[in-house]
Structure 1
């Protein structure tokens, strides 16, 4: 407990120092943090929140969030690979109204379907991805097909060039998000995946958001050296609807701050299968991912991913079998990576995009790398140019 208190006190001192805003100071601190040290003593772990003895000084109090159990039937939850809502645990944080955290509510083995969808199906054309900037569309047609044999190989040469799947950083679904204008539009629209829409709508309903429509998704693919810069998700035209975030693979640290960057953020772990919902006041707060944490036992998967999908799925299930060969590719990828899906409703019922946002943008505008935005992007610490962008004072 002494180490915990010391960690919280040192973070408070760090955030209060002048020159740099409090959020960026803690972002830099956690980006350089190490597992097994006091560095992570102030990070909230919702997976063990029910075992926690009580609130910690300097850390927001974790409170139970009461889900709308009657809004999702057991059959509907099972269709999406989720436990009955009555078996979920959900939490909020004092001082962050509208923030909801649901530690892994997936049925055993069912995360594998969503991981395979992110890596194999959602990454395909016509969905737009960061690879479009670097190669012709036909070459980036299916990162999975061009990568699977390399990833499945047992003799992985760490010096070999990264496969297309390992170079994937983001994919957009539904309404496309333009990283330069920071706006959504109907240009480059692709049909939103029906299985992901159903999953998102069940989670939203369980949290009290009936009528939520999944219209846009951004998939972020993280390596161990990736970060997600400090940003606010304000580009959706309807902010009354929640933002849903699904995590798979290696754990990461998530920072949730305030309306301004001079407010010190709260740190929490995101483990595989965890779901976050940002709504109401928390919908427009600064947030970031400064660190993906390598597994303490080396290159291996979180324990919750060791269980395979059931051999026989319910007849109405949206989940599809995952072959041993496909899972070998997924597992090889996730040994040193994580995937995050964020799902949003962009428009209010009956709303349309403003006229200027429906004009078709030149193709080159949509091909620019996400890193050009300087606001919400996956960064890699191994790149000194990108490090300088994130840390101009170093």
Structure 2
């Protein structure tokens, strides 16, 4: 029945209120129950959640005017986090496409020291540069991606050129085959993570993108981590049916440095748990432009993404992406112009997708990789990539995304 045909009445409202109360109560019960499957139960709850209903009533929305964590007996208090405003000049922030740090809002959660959430600090339009880099540049060779397993280097040489026309006509041809960019699930940068050994190594390295390194250094410095070096990155490409399994990022040799996470495109639910999986996680929204920093105690906590949320208006872009990248940029900006054609391709892709960049420092200052024993024979990797994104359409039902699952 269409919404316009539903007359307001006490019976209907009462029925809906009952459903809402039941959903919130169910979620609160799961959150309050520790146990072997505490994290997994909430993961499944949110994976099956319905946008626009009370299923999401307990999810923290840091972008709200008054950032609160909803209701429920297990609710945690949102607190303001202090940033190091003087560590990043307004000029350097602008070079990276960021607002002055004095204008950022940063939050933490009681019980999660070292966790910092920064709702979209990007200047209007500047998110498009990072989206374009993920789709057009960072996925190019010699960087490594999930498509390498079953395709030659020549076939994956330029995913953008092979996909752009298909994506531009997406709205006109709903039954077209998926482009290569739509089959992309992950890309590694810098020190390339080995999905079999779960390690980084000195001999599996390509230069880390200088623009992303600069962005990461500014964000890390603003959070109190001057001298942070961007040495490895994992880019995750989510479809609307993708999930990220429960995991801990622990393969880096220096855990004293933060893990930085940048989100673009459709919103998602992020679950932050404890040191063990029997601790129920806290749920929060990640919107386009949001940045998360996991450091200190929170650096080695279990976390996951059970749900990517489609836009309330079918196949539309988040409001923070409504502004195009300015045509005129500062002369020394690390952000590059984005043509109208490139913007169209990126927008078409993001209407049904989310892109996430995670950046890490692998080695401590003056630290080297330990000597590696002789490599064992490599095992077969599923087509979607070992330990990577799970998609409902994938034949690999337990495929996960993160290296440390």
| Structure 1 length-normalised TM | 0.92
2:43 aligns with 27
Q: 1:382 aligns with which of 366, 369, 393?
A: 393
2:147 counterpart (112, 127, 131): 131
Do 2:35 and 2:279's aligned partners in 1 also have CA atoms closer than 8 Å? no
User: 2:110 aligned to 94, 97, 105, which one?
Assistant: 94
The one of 114, 121, 127 aligned to 1:105: 121
Q: Which residue number corresponds to residue 43 of structure 1?
A: 59
Deviation of the 1:185 alpha carbon: 1.3
| CA shift in 2, pair 1:18/1:384, >3 Å | farther
Q: Tell me which of 237, 247, 259 is aligned to 1:221.
A: 237
- Classify 1:230/1:187 alpha carbon distance in 2 versus 1 (closer, same or farther; 3 Å): same
Residue pairs, 1:7-86, within 5 angstroms: 7-15=23-31, 21-48=37-64, 50=66, 52=68, 57-86=73-102
SS of structure 1 residue aligned to 2:64:
helix
Provide the C-alpha distance between the structure 2 equivalents of 1:87 and 1:67, rounded to a whole number of angstroms.
10
Helix, strand or coil at the partner of 1:39: helix
**Alignment deviations for residues 149-172 of structure 1 (CA, whole Å, 9 cap, x no partner):** 111125543332211100000000
CA distance in 1, matches of 2:100, 2:260: 19
Task: Report deviation, 1:286.
Answer: 0.3
Instruction: Please provide the CA RMSD for this pair.
Output: 2.4
The structure-2 alpha-carbon separation of the partners of 1:385 and 1:309, relative to structure 1 and needing over 3 Å to count, comes to closer
Give 1:372 deviation, angstroms: 6.2
Which structure shows the bigger proportion of residues in helix conformation?
1
In structure 2, the residue matched to 1:200 is 216
Residue 238 in 1 paired to residue 223 in 2?
Answer: no
Q: Tell me by how many angstroms 1:50 deviates.
A: 2.8
Find the structure with the greater CA-based Rg: 2
User: Deviations 1:114-163 (Å, cap 9, x if unpaired)?
Assistant: 10000000010000000000111110111111100111125543332211
| Local SS of the residue matching 2:235 | strand
Query: Please, what TM-score do these two structures have when normalized by structure 2?
Result: 0.89
- Distance 1:208-1:137 versus aligned 2 partners, 3 A rule: same
Q: Verify: 1:368 aligned to 2:384, yes or no.
A: no
Q: Once the 2 structures are TM-superposed, how far is the Cα of residue 244 of structure 1 from its aligned partner?
A: 0.1
- Offset of residue 15 of structure 1: 4.8
CA–CA separation in structure 2 for the residues paired with 1:264 and 1:384 = 29
Q: Distance in 2 between matches of 1:5 and 1:62?
A: 23
Q: Which consecutive residues of structure 1, in runs of 5 or more, have no partner in the other structure?
A: none
Specify every segment of 5 or more residues in structure 2 that has no aligned partner in the other structure, as ranges.
Answer: 1-16
Counterpart check, 1:251 vs 2:270: no
Report the CA distance between 1:110 and its aligned residue: 0.3
**How much does 1:47 deviate?**
0.1
The alignment status of 1:149 with 2:162, answered yes or no, reads: no
SS of 1:178's equivalent in the other structure is coil
- Conserved 8 A contact 1:216-1:346: yes
Contact 2:241 2:308 in 1 (8 A): yes
Measure the CA separation in 1 of the matches of 2:113 and 2:322: 35
* Residues 32/51 of structure 1: CA separation in 2 closer, same or farther (3 Å cut): closer
SS at match of 1:264: coil
Mark the CA change 1:312 to 1:70 in structure 2 (over 3 Å): closer, same or farther. same
Please tell me whether the aligned partners of residues 130 and 369 of structure 1 are also in contact (alpha carbons under 8 angstroms): no
Cα distance in 2 between the residues matched to 1:388 and 1:189: 25
Cα contact 2:80–2:107 (8 A) shared by 1? yes
Residue 52 of structure 1 deviates from its aligned partner by 4.5
Q: Point out the more displaced range, 91-100 or 47-56.
A: 47-56
Partner residue, 2:327: 311
Instruction: Compute the displacement of 1:49 (Å).
Output: 5.2
Q: Encode CA deviations 1:313-358: one digit per residue, 9 max, x unaligned.
A: 111111111000001100110000000000000000111111117x
Which residue number corresponds to residue 280 of structure 1?
296
Distance 2:225 2:151 in 1: 40
